[in-house]
Chains A and B, each alone.
Chain A
Amino acid sequence: MGEEEKGEKLMIVFRKAPYGTIYSFEGLENVLIMGAYDQDISVLFIDDGIYAIKAGMETEAVGIKNFSPTFRAIEAYDIEKLYIDKDSLEKRGLSIDDLVIQPKVIDAEQVESLMEEQKNFFMF
């Protein structure tokens, strides 16, 4: 990015499907707050967590607000390091075009090295 290094390396990992539990929704709230702190933030979608950003969710019948489009706001908060696990996508028959945002697709080895760099994590 060519910018000056900023802050600590912190990562938020989305692992769980949305709506069945509140983990990913409140995880998203955490991401949006963290964006205001000018740190080196990465967001990773892995396992069922990738469903949190699947396009075309229709949640009216379950009476819960569809919050997936709110993930588009992440970039407006200057969080640009967005990643998605390749294997998780493939296992669920999804592609990057099925999502509301387009994180960088990375494989398991890249996930590992990315995680090694981080100071602290939040898992949702």
Chain B
Amino acid sequence: MKFGVLILEGPYQHESSDSAYHFTKAALEKGHEVLRVFFYQDGVINSTKLMEPQADDRHIQRQWSELQEKYDLDYVVCVAAAKRRGINDDVIGPGFKIGGLGMLTEVAIEADRVVQFGA
């Protein structure tokens, strides 16, 4: 199946980001396609490399970046939501890119299912 993934919540405060990560990873391991992961609303904060969790905790941005590298995934961080929250090209981690909200519509058209995490 062709999936799109939409994340609306920020890291650590809310489990949505972790759930989205585990879903994306599991879908790929099962041989499904993930056309795009779209970070919207507070979800854009998952992309910042400025996060520094304690050493015994997961590093949410790095987890996402490593998964992107392994599967060559398409990660889009919504520009309007990012600007509001101080996220820009200087702070996003490897594998993320800033893009327009229209790229969420595109994946809703192309994917068999958009799976939303948060809200």
Q: A residues near B, CB below 8 A? A: 7-8, 10, 15-16, 22-23, 26, 29-30, 33-34, 36-37, 39, 119-124
Contacts and interface: CB of A to CB of B under 8 A. Distances in A.
A121 B114 contact: yes
A37 B102 CA distance: 8
Contacts of A36: 102
If over half of B's interface residues share one DSSP class (helix, strand or loop), that class is named, otherwise mixed; here it is mixed
B112 to A, nearest CB: 8
Contacts of A22: 41
Given A33-B101, A34-B105, 13 more contacts: A10-B105, A16-B119, A23-B119, A26-B80, A30-B105, A33-B105, A37-B106, A119-B108, A120-B111, A121-B116, A122-B108, A122-B116, A123-B116
A33 to B, nearest CB: 4
Nearest to B111: A120
B91 to A, nearest CB: 20
Most B-side CB within 10 Å, residue of A34, A120, A122: A120
Interface in B30-63: 40-41
B81 interface: yes
B108 A8 contact: yes
A30 B113 CA distance: 18
Nearest to A8: B109
Contacts of A124: 119
B108 A10 contact: yes
Nearest to B42: A22
A122 B102 contact: no
Contacts of B104: 30, 33, 122
Contacts of B80: 26, 29
A119 B108 CA distance: 8
B46 to A, nearest CB: 16
Contacts of B102: 33, 36-37
B6 interface: yes
Contacts of A30: 40, 101, 104-105
